[in-house]
Amino acid sequence: MALAMEHALPRENTVSATTDNLLTTPLHDMHIGMGARMVPFAGYSMPVQYDKGLMAEHLHTRRAASLFDVSHMGQLRLEGPDAAAAFETLMPVDVIDLPEGRQRYGLLLNEDGGIIDDLMFVNRGVDIFVIVNGACKHGDIAHIQARIGQRCTVTPMPEMALLALQGPLAAASLARVAPGIDRLVFMTGARFSICGTDCFVTRSGYTGEDGFEISVHQSEVQMLVNILLMLPDIELAGLGARNSLRLEAGLCLYGNDIDTTTTPAEAALGWAVQKVRRSGGARAGGFPGAAKVLEQLSNPAALTRKRVGLVGLERIPVREHAELHDGAGQRIGEVTSGLLSPTLDKPVAMGYVNPANATLGTRVQALVRGKPVPMEVSAMPFVPARYHRV
């Protein structure tokens, strides 16, 4: 789960620090200095990997802890006594009842129930802190401002950087410089001083591992990164590992696995719609596309497609846009994300198929360069999550 939720990684060649028309994060020069391969991503020049390579970064995250620069993400806050109720009108989730210090996953919807973006938000007591995808942030902020700007104050926070520290040793490492960080559990957040630097930290992330996301002022992020990289077990990782980790965790990539044509039920994200917003709930409906979304959640037979996990039966990677066929050779869907899993050493993917072929264990064929590759519908996540819940 979590943040993030972004467009597919580009395949462009390495770009320089002076590439025209690309934005840079406050850590851009550090990435260049540490030998990162930089690529255009969501309008930014971003590190896709460092010298050790994607595979090493991925596996290091699974066994220790990796630090990701995700400062391209959008951060904003909603303030005012009506902020929670206003924000709830944009999404099929429970905002009003979210306790202070708790974080939740949300879905901005259009009038047809399609997903404009997925996001994370935290009730900080004095405001609602929201993090949206980098590729969508300008549209998201404009959408939120236009829809609820008369009911609450919507304040973008472009001055803030964002770091993700992910992996089974993330908590022990961060505790060395952030006393009390262990009191956070999965999907909670609070302010912490990390070596004198004021940060807002949530225990969440996009890898399936335990970890944290750290919002810090851009003027202090370089110092904070230097401190964290001096700690045992922490190494830098880029967008490539972030993508492979989230796919193993069964988490959606916005622009690939979900978009404005996808509804929550089709995307198998019904778990993100709390009971209070469903049919029969105390605050049912009242969000864009409610009639269609609630009908699909109440009546799965109304669906024409469903997101599923897929595991390859041969060691041939299957990537996005590969057609999926049934045993008779009929087209039944399409792969939306796929790669050779570094952890499992076998192909994994997710995609959409018609409901008749969505049952676990169903055999399908993916078309790779015109040749059928056998796959099987599988439960997700492919690699069990290790979130710190208690």
Residue pLDDT, tens place only, 290-313: 999 999 999 999 899 999 999 999
Query: Which residue in 191, 243, 218 sits closest to 49, CA to CA?
Result: 243
For the stretch 21-67, pLDDT in tens is 899 999 999 999 999 999 999 999 999 999 999 999 999 999 999 99
| Residue range 180-192: mean pLDDT, rounded | 97
Query: At a CB cut-off of 8 Å and minimum separation 6, what does 368 contact?
Result: 316, 318, 322
Q: What is the amino acid identity at position 141?
A: I
Average pLDDT over residues 65-84: 98
Domains in the chain with CATH codes: 28-70+159-248 (3.30.1360.120), 304-390 (2.40.30.110)
Q: Can you give the pLDDT at residue 17?
A: 40
Task: Label the pairing between strands 347-353 and 306-312.
Answer: antiparallel
Q: Are 128 and 144 in contact (CB under 8 A)?
A: no
Tell me the pLDDT band of 92, cut-offs 50, 70 and 90. very high
CA distances from 33 to 7, 17, 36, 47, 58 (A): 26, 10, 7, 11, 21
What pLDDT is recorded for position 2?
A: 37
Amino acid 390: pLDDT: 83
CA 324/CA 64 separation, integer angstroms: 36
| pLDDT bracket for residue 209 (50, 70, 90) | very high
Q: Under a CB-based contact definition with an 8 Å cutoff, are residues 119 and 135 in contact? A: no
For the chain, the average pLDDT equals 94
Q: Give just the sign of the alpha carbon dihedral 226, 231, 237, 243.
A: negative
pLDDT at residue 20 tops 80:
no
Residue 138's pLDDT band (cuts 50, 70, 90): very high
User: What are the tens digits of pLDDT across the range 193-206?
Assistant: 999 999 999 999 99
pLDDT category, 126, cuts 50, 70, 90? Answer: very high
315-355 confidence digits (pLDDT tens): 999 999 999 999 999 999 999 999 999 999 999 999 999 99
Q: What are the residues whose beta carbons fall under 8 Å from the beta carbon of 378, sequence distance 6 or more?
A: 308, 309, 310, 311, 348, 360
Residue among 69, 34, 58, 26 at smallest CA distance from 241: 58
Identify the helix (H) or strand (E) that includes residue 154.
strand 153-156
* pTM to 2 decimal places: 0.94
The reported pLDDT for the residue numbered 6 is 38
Could you report the per-residue pLDDT of 221-246, keeping only the tens digit for each? 999 999 999 998 999 999 999 999 99
* Sheet bearing 128-132, strands edge to edge: 103-109, 115-123, 128-132, 74-79, 153-156
